Homo-oligomer: A and B are copies of this chain.
Amino acid sequence: MTTRFQVIVLNGGSSSGKSGIARCLQAVLPDPWLSVSIDALVDSMPPSLRQSGDGIGFAPDGEVSVGPEFRTLQKAWMTGVAAMAGAGAHVIIDDVFLGGAASQEDWRTALAGLDVLWVGVRCDARVAAGREIVRGDRPRGMAESQADLVHKGVAYDLEVDTTRTESLECARTIATHVG
> A residues bordering B, Cβ < 8 Å?
17, 20-21, 23-24, 26-27, 32-36, 40-41, 44-49, 54-55, 69, 72-73, 75-77, 79-89, 127, 130-131, 133-136, 164, 166-169
Residues of B within 8 A of A41 (CB): 34
Find out whether the CB atom of B84 lies under 8 angstroms from the CB atom of A79. yes
Copies of the polypeptide in the assembly = 4
| A47 and B76 in contact, given A130-B166, A130-B169 (Cβ under 8 angstroms) | no
**Contact pick for A27, options B87, B89, B133, B169, CB 8 Å:** B133
A168 to B80, CA, bound (A): 29
Collect the chain B residues with CB atoms within 8 Å of residue A131's CB: 166-168
Q: Which of A33, A45, A130, A135 has the largest number of chain B CB atoms within 10 A?
A: A130
Q: In the docked arrangement, what's the CA distance between A82 and B166, Å?
A: 36
CB atoms of A136 and B89 under 8 A apart: no
Given contacts A32-B73, A44-B35, A49-B32, contact A130 B168 (CB under 8 A): yes
Contact residue among B27, B45, B75 (Cβ-Cβ distance under 8 Å from A48): B27
For A24, list chain B residues within 8 Å (CB): 130, 133-134
A18 to B39 CA separation, bound complex (whole angstroms) = 22
